Amino acid sequence: MSLKSVKTLLTLFGIIALVSCTDQAPVSQANGPAAPPAGSEAASEQIGVERWNSAEQVVLGSEVFTQNCAVCHGAQAQGAVGDWREKLADGSFPPPPLNGSAHAWHHPQEILLRVIDYGGEAMGGKMPAFIDVLEDHEKLAAVAYFQSFWTDDIYQQWMQMGGTN
Ligand code: HEC
């Protein structure tokens, strides 16, 4: 084989290597929650992440949620309709899933509790205020309940975005 054809071959291999690299570029993150980058803290600590709440709080939260929230958000916090991002005919948003598949995990604890306290009515939404309906420990338990459906992955992303801090 001549030196020239060796060079051509090497160039070809180079191109192939480049192409296969781009093939492995990060998949579009437009759909659903973004996966944490490999090797990040979230990816390496996926098993048995410790939560802020106790198991008892989830049990109480299940009662609170069933009685006050499930009618709109679904018994397992799965939401009401197919697409929580799509406005209803009256221009309001449907009750979103709180089970980690929608948006709730973008909000730190403080904001979640504020939504529960004041509802969405002030912002033109439909959720009623619970400030005078539930005790503080019941609101926290309700949060613990719907968070029990979150994967550790989602939970850790929530913690990184503010969480209970
Ligand atoms: C009458 C229906 C209804 C009830 C009952 C209700 N919600 Fe909601 N909830 C909604 C709607 C609709 C929204 C979206 C914002 C809006 O339109 O007010 C929402 C939003 C939320 C959000 C914010 C989610 C996000 O992704 O930003 C949280 C958290 C929440 N609700 C928790 C609860 C909890 C906990 C209870 C029970 C204590 C409850 N909700 C009871 C209808 C309801």
Report whether pLDDT(3) > 70: no
125 lines ligand 1 (CB under 6 A): yes
pLDDT at site 79:
94
Q: How far is CA 5 from CA 10, 87, 94, in A?
A: 9, 62, 65
Segment 126-143 shows an average pLDDT of 97
pLDDT at site 25:
35
Q: Give the burial class of 152: count Cβ atoms within 10 A of its Cβ; 0-12 exposed, 13-18 middle, 19 or more buried.
A: middle
61 lines ligand 1 (CB under 6 A): no
More confident residue, 36 or 153: 153
Interval 13-51: pLDDT, tens: 443 333 333 333 333 334 444 444 444 444 444 458 999
Give the confidence band of 5 by pLDDT, cuts at 50, 70, 90. low
CA of 117 to the centre of ligand 1 (A): 10
Are the beta carbons of 133 and 68 closer than 8 angstroms? yes
Residue 117 to residue 136: CA distance in whole angstroms: 9
pLDDT at site 7:
54
pLDDT at site 82:
80
Are the beta carbons of 94 and 88 closer than 8 angstroms? yes
34 lines ligand 1 (CB under 6 A): no
For residue 145, give the amino acid letter.
Y
CA of 78 to the centre of ligand 1 (A): 12
**Residues of the chain with pLDDT > 90: what percent?**
58
